[in-house]
Amino acid sequence: MGAPPLPSWRRLLCSALLAASLLPWGTSEANEKFSEFSPRGWNSYDSFSWIVDENTYMQNAEILAEKLLPHGYEYAVIDYLWYRNYVDGAYTDSYGFDNIDEWGRPFPDLQRFPSSINDKGFSQLANKVHGMGLKFGIHIMKGISVQAVNGNTPILDIKTGKPYIEDARQWTARDIGLTDRTCAWMPHGFMSVNIDIGAGKAFLRSLYRQYADWGVDFVKVDCIFGTDYDRKEIITISELLQELDRPIILSISPGTEVTPALAKNISQYVNMYRITGDDWDNWKDVSSHFDVSSSFAAANKIGATGLRGRSWPDLDMLPFGWLTNAGVNQGPHRKCELTSDEQRTQMALWSMAKSPLMYGGDLRHLDNDTLSMITNPALLKINHYSINNMEFHHVYSERISKEDEHSSRFKPQDAVHLPKIDGVALGLTACSDDKANGWNYGMQDDKNISFCLGKTKPLLTSDDIIIQNEEYQTKFHLAIVDSEDACLDASVSQRRRSSDIKLPMFSRCRWHAMQMWELNEKGNLISSYSRLCATVESKNKVVTTGAVARAWIATGSKGEIYLAFFNTDSMSRNITARISDLRKVLGKKFIRKDTCSCTEVWSGRNFSFVKDEISAVVNSHGSMVFEITC
């Protein structure tokens, strides 16, 4: 199968970047690889809930093609329940309103999608969208519809075009539907299928074959991840997609309670996976993405191997512009409630974390400010081409406000402060475990290295643990503060916490290998003695006292550094990052001097030469993104 022609924006970017010849992934051919970049596009959910129809979808697709496709937004995705008849009594978890075909497969609601008549399904719509240079996407639910099971429809065997027969008998929907595994948030809609039997797989195969025949390029499969995690069905779908000659992006949802450890088990089978619950236009939703995106960056999940290419932690759609509400029977009718600072913060974090960017607002009402925000060239470049993306924990900040003149200056904001080590559970595990990632250095003085467990779990600072090292920067001793003679020991207590995490012991500090720890480049803290790796977890699940001034860093293809400041406080803050700290994290390769040139992306302001530190006053809930060359 030949690679599809590249849209010209991508060709341009490729050649511009290749000129710098610093690309981590080699040739421009390699660049064209499937899902090499996190997908961008438009999704109907935030503006139409489930009631989008063909006309409004096409109107949005036209604007997408005209205004956003030149910036890489290429997927036009119809979100959930396109098969539900939009009539009185139908809603998101209603029963009995779904259009299903003779084989129990969802079929577009003919009232809303008239071009699907005569068994055409979405093929006409996909054709039109392809003709505009876009890609066609749909949302689907896991498994099989409750209606198909109750109707006991036959299962299509796509090899014969006839009902599926095995062991000399015909199998039907009731044989495969797992009635005890209905979707938790849509119990009247869908249930899992038994994929341990041939008929279950045959049903799923008949679904995805049909989507490929329609010309679908993107499937967002819901109720299969996060709290509804079904590893087997995800892998089966992934395998079925690989059987097809049409490459289809596999996106999975929902993202509630997703951790890097959970994602590790499935990321290689998919292209994008949600890592949070639904994101709407309120500050709480936006700010809830900081910790989780940081943990996925620290666990090296950004752009990890995925289905036919790479996989991307997905922070959910951008609910800007003209919107509706979650799950209602109503189209767009209200403005986004985020301030423009909050919207920029969301755009900047999504870009720094290389999340897929799916615009959610009704494009027919796209205003110039929103357009320029979501097509900001520097952010889009960061979103696709930067590397070394991670949270940067060494920022300092102070409140800027008249009432608050006595606020203390320069408190490190690099990690959550826990009053006692009691709030934290240390563990030992195999170094391949994602939980073991994420340790990094803090600031140094002559003798001590303050440690920040910052990247995965922002939990420990020097206030909690003192690290002393004799052999400078190679081996550490980990002692508990206020307990002068208790060092983390690599021997393991008999008490086991969970299946694979072992509880380490603290014992009298002695300078022997049992109590020596080494930090590798991956951010593993390895016992010199047992070669097990240290983990840390908060015992109190909810970490609410997180730093209010946060920052992310990434590097570009020409040796430039991107530094984003985020102020999650309710007042303005003067945020500072020291160039020496940037050097500690990124290395001398990126920072050769203490004087850097620096441009702020949102304002375009050129700070020309900054020395030793980068400081800026950031609005409440706002962001600043610096492009820095040192």
Ligand X SMILES: *[C@@H]1O[C@H](CO)[C@@H](O)[C@H](O)[C@H]1NC(C)=O
Q: Name residues contacting ligand X, limited to 222-261 (CB under 6 A).
A: 261
User: Least distance (Å) from ligand X to the CB of residue 86?
Assistant: 33
Stretch that binds ligand X, among 443-451, 501-509, 548-556, 578-586 (CB under 6 A): 443-451
Instruction: Verify binding: residue 596, ligand X, rule CB under 6 A.
Output: no
Task: List b or e across 277-290, with b for residues whose CB sees 16 or more CB atoms inside 10 angstroms.
Answer: bbbbbebebbbebb
Choosing from 237, 297, 466, 624, the residue that interacts with ligand X (CB under 6 A) is 466
Choosing from 262, 307, 536, 547, the residue that interacts with ligand X (CB under 6 A) is 262
User: Least distance (Å) from ligand X to the CB of residue 155?
Assistant: 27
User: Least distance (Å) from ligand X to the CB of residue 55?
Assistant: 24
Taking the least distance from each CB to ligand X, the nearer of 159 and 611 is: 611
* Torsion angle of C-alpha atoms 400, 406, 409, 411, degrees rounded to 10: -100
Cross-strand pairs, 165: 170
Choosing from 448, 491, 507, 530, the residue that interacts with ligand X (CB under 6 A) is 448
Closest by Cα among 107, 38, 115, 93 to 270: 38
Question: What is the total count of residues that contact ligand X (CB under 6 A)?
Answer: 17
Using the Cα atoms of residue 84, residue 86, residue 88 and residue 92 in order, give the sign of their dihedral.
positive
Instruction: Verify binding: residue 430, ligand X, rule CB under 6 A.
Output: no
Taking the least distance from each CB to ligand X, the nearer of 284 and 402 is: 402
Taking the least distance from each CB to ligand X, the nearer of 102 and 367 is: 367
Stretch that binds ligand X, among 6-14, 150-158, 236-244, 441-449 (CB under 6 A): 441-449
Alpha helices in 45-172 (DSSP H): 45-48, 54-63, 123-131, 146-151
DSSP conformation class of 183:
-
Instruction: Verify binding: residue 599, ligand X, rule CB under 6 A.
Output: yes
Sorted by sequence, the CB contacts under 8 Å of residue 136 that are 6+ apart come out as: 75, 76, 122, 125, 126, 129, 130, 214, 215, 216, 217, 218
Taking the least distance from each CB to ligand X, the nearer of 98 and 230 is: 230
Instruction: Verify binding: residue 445, ligand X, rule CB under 6 A.
Output: yes
Both tokens of 469, joined, read 């090292």
Cβ atoms 305, 268 nearer than 8 A: yes
To 5 degrees, how large is the angle CA 141–CA 142–CA 146?
80
Stretch that binds ligand X, among 84-92, 220-228, 290-298, 440-448 (CB under 6 A): 440-448
Instruction: Verify binding: residue 617, ligand X, rule CB under 6 A.
Output: yes
Cβ atoms 110, 97 nearer than 8 A: no
Strand runs labelled E in 186-337: 190-193, 218-222, 249-252, 272-274, 304-306, 309-314, 322-323, 334-335
Half-sphere exposure in the Cβ direction for 612 (13 Å, CA): 0
Instruction: Verify binding: residue 447, ligand X, rule CB under 6 A.
Output: yes
Tell me the per-residue interface mask from 356 to 395 with ligand X, x by CB under 6 A, - otherwise. Answer: ------------x---------------------------
Binding residues (CB under 6 A) for ligand X: these are 261-262, 265, 368, 445, 447-448, 466, 468, 574, 576, 597, 599, 606, 608, 615, 617
